[in-house]
Amino acid sequence: MATKEEVDLARRCFLMRATTTLGGLGLAATSIPFVSYWLPSADTEAAAGPVTVDLSPLKPGEQLTVAWQGKPVWVIRRTPEMLDTLPKLNDFLRDPFSSEDQQPAYAKNIARAINPEYFVAVGVCTHLGCIPTYRPDPGSISPSWLGGFYCPCHGSMYDLAGRVYKNVPAPLNLVIPSYTYQNDHTVVIGEDSPVGAK
């Protein structure tokens, strides 16, 4: 049985999730490189099957979001500069080497990806389930910020590989779903990749 405090937190989180989603759509028109957000229809939400995503519209630094199993899944095309930030952050992260079971074996590497250029992750905060915002600009959260994801609900922070910072409420890195490449520009989310592919 949830305590009153837990119920209040969950309710606040639900409201924040709705606000974050709308806020994300607003930001799309301004500063954040963002391609699309596909809200799940009832049919899509019910479908648990794989989702095929065409990566060709994504420019370097851009994010797209698709719905899979009723959850937002992000694909971000990371630049070499973004990838360069990852090893610099290890000391500030709770699980820099992805020891916890939050990703398939083929994404257990510093980029947490099959192909480091494309980051695929479930966009749900591991604290209470809000949707973090994509904040790629260095310095946009704090002077030492090198880019990543920020959860406005209770201030959790993740780097550009979805690795959670120390001393924030979220306990775990973002989840990497099972996925595979159909070809260089097409990924299938919800279908497992042979280990070591690409």
Residues that bind ligand FES (CB under 6 A): 13, 125, 127-130, 151, 153-156, 169-170
Nearer to ligand FES, 53 or 128 (CB): 128
Nearer to ligand FES, 63 or 126 (CB): 126
Tokens of 91: 């000391």
Minimum distance, C-beta of residue 57 to ligand FES, in the bound complex (Å): 29
DSSP helix/strand/coil, 32: coil
Contact 47, 189 (CB under 8 A): no
Q: Please tell me which residue in 12, 71, 94, 154 is annotated as part of the active site.
A: 154
**Strand pairing of 63-68 and 34-37?**
parallel
Nearer to ligand FES, 173 or 180 (CB): 173
Minimum distance, C-beta of residue 73 to ligand FES, in the bound complex (Å): 17
Burial category of 140 from C-beta neighbours within 10 Å (exposed 0-12, middle 13-18, buried 19 and up): middle
Residues 6 or more apart whose CB falls under 8 angstroms from that of 175 comprise: 102, 103, 121, 122, 124, 126
Tokens of 46: 């019910």
Contact 58, 35 (CB under 8 A): yes
User: How many Å apart are CA 100 and CA 197, to the nearest integer?
Assistant: 21
Minimum distance, C-beta of residue 172 to ligand FES, in the bound complex (Å): 11
Minimum distance, C-beta of residue 99 to ligand FES, in the bound complex (Å): 21
Nearer to ligand FES, 153 or 160 (CB): 153
**Does residue 127 carry a catalytic annotation?**
no
Catalytically annotated residues: 154
